[in-house]
Amino acid sequence: MSAVDRVLVVDAGNTSVKFTAFEDESIVWVQRDECRLESAHFSPDRIYFASVRSKEQSALLHADIQAEYPNAHWSTLTSQAQACGVRNAYIEPARLGIDRWLGAVAAHHTAKGDVVVVDAGTAIKIDIVNRAGIHLGGYITPGLAMMEEALLSNTAKIRYGAHEVVAGSGLPDSTARAVTEGCHEMALGFLERIHRRYSDFKWVVTGGDAQRLLGLLGISLECQPNLVALGAKMVGDEQVRGNK
């Protein structure tokens, strides 16, 4: 039996924590922000930890999870110059967000060719990887909710209730529609511009808003909700093999 038989991937994003449990290469369960994990029938050999949070927040989360699984070997994943056949474009590789790096690694192996990786959550992140595994770079923009929050927090009279956010046709005829649909149009314009540049690339998407946004553009895509976890499993396993 492999030394990496049971693995728990912890993906600590800006607004939520996602736990993905693997047995060999199969995902057996996924949870978000649960106080108690499904630990009764799952005892990981290894934990792969990927966090974009501050050192202090990451340390607190680390302590909580380690208390739940005290016998698991812990690996904190960081962005590298190269891993799993993918080369990082950044001059300072460690400064590439670990979520972007793991997504790029997983998408390269999923697409098996030129690929655009879109992760649309708190932020909308795009990374481009060619078929040779060269990460060419990417973009970070505010996500839909962040755009709306920035507009509302910096204006005095742009206000509306949640009940006013309704779908409509034609030009927006309320403040709620003007803001929400305006933010959608900004995001769509950005994504459409990227698609014009990389129309021949395969698109692999993840994150809560990605499929909805790209669906409006009619872009052919592969939706992979566990993209970051899959990348973490690949990178973590490679590090384990290298340490033997």
The pLDDT tens digits of the residues spanning 202-242 come to 999 999 888 778 878 888 889 999 999 999 999 999 999 88
Residues 6+ apart with CB under 8 A from 141: 123, 124, 187, 190
| Cβ atoms 32, 25 nearer than 8 A | no
What is the phi/psi pair of residue 126, to 5°? Answer: -125, 135
Residues making up the binding site for ATP: 11-18, 122
Provide the CATH number for the domain around residue 127. Answer: 3.30.420.40
Residues 189 and 140 in one domain: yes
Q: How many CB atoms lie within 10 A of CB 109?
A: 15
- Across all residues in the chain, what is the average pLDDT? 91
The three-state secondary structure class of 35 is: coil
Question: Is 62 inside a domain boundary?
Answer: yes
Query: β-strands 202-206, 222-223: how paired?
Result: parallel
Residues 119 and 164 in one domain: yes
Residues 208 and 146 in one domain: yes
Pick the last residue of a domain from 76, 104, 137: 76
Q: Which of 24, 33, 45, 99 is catalytic?
A: 99
Question: Is 85 inside a domain boundary?
Answer: no
Residues 157 and 219 in one domain: yes
Q: Could you read off the pLDDT of 22-34 as tens digits, one per residue?
A: 999 999 999 987 6
Question: Is 237 inside a domain boundary?
Answer: no
Residues 212 and 136 in one domain: yes
Question: Is 103 inside a domain boundary?
Answer: no
What does DSSP assign to residue 119?
E
Residue 1: the pLDDT is: 42
Pick the last residue of a domain from 76, 103, 136: 76
Is 60 exceeded by the pLDDT of residue 35? no
Question: Is 243 inside a domain boundary?
Answer: no
Please list the residues that pair with 205 across neighbouring strands: 118, 223
Residues making up the binding site for K(+): 119
| Amino acid letter, residue 185 | E
The three-state secondary structure class of 178 is: helix
Residues 78 and 236: their CA atoms lie apart, in Å, by: 10
Residue 36: the pLDDT is: 58
The residue segments making up the domain with residue 56 are 6-76
Residue 110: the pLDDT is: 95
Range picked from 39-48, 97-106, 148-157 for highest mean pLDDT: 97-106
Sheet harboring 46-51: ordered strands across? 26-32, 17-23, 6-12, 46-51, 73-76
Active site residue 24: no
Question: Is 177 inside a domain boundary?
Answer: yes
Residues 71 and 158 in one domain: no
Smallest Cα–Cα separation from 136: which of 179, 90, 203? 90
Question: Is 94 inside a domain boundary?
Answer: no
Percent of the chain with pLDDT over 90: 68
Residues 135 and 68 in one domain: no
Question: Is 95 inside a domain boundary?
Answer: no
Residues 136 and 205 in one domain: yes
Residues 62 and 132 in one domain: no
How many domains, the chain?
A: 2
Residues 125 and 22 in one domain: no
Residues 134 and 188 in one domain: yes
**Mean pLDDT over residues 116-138, rounded?**
97
Residues making up the binding site: 11-18, 90, 97-100, 119, 122, 175
Residues 217 and 141 in one domain: yes
Residues 41 and 193: their CA atoms lie apart, in Å, by: 47
Give the global pTM.
0.90
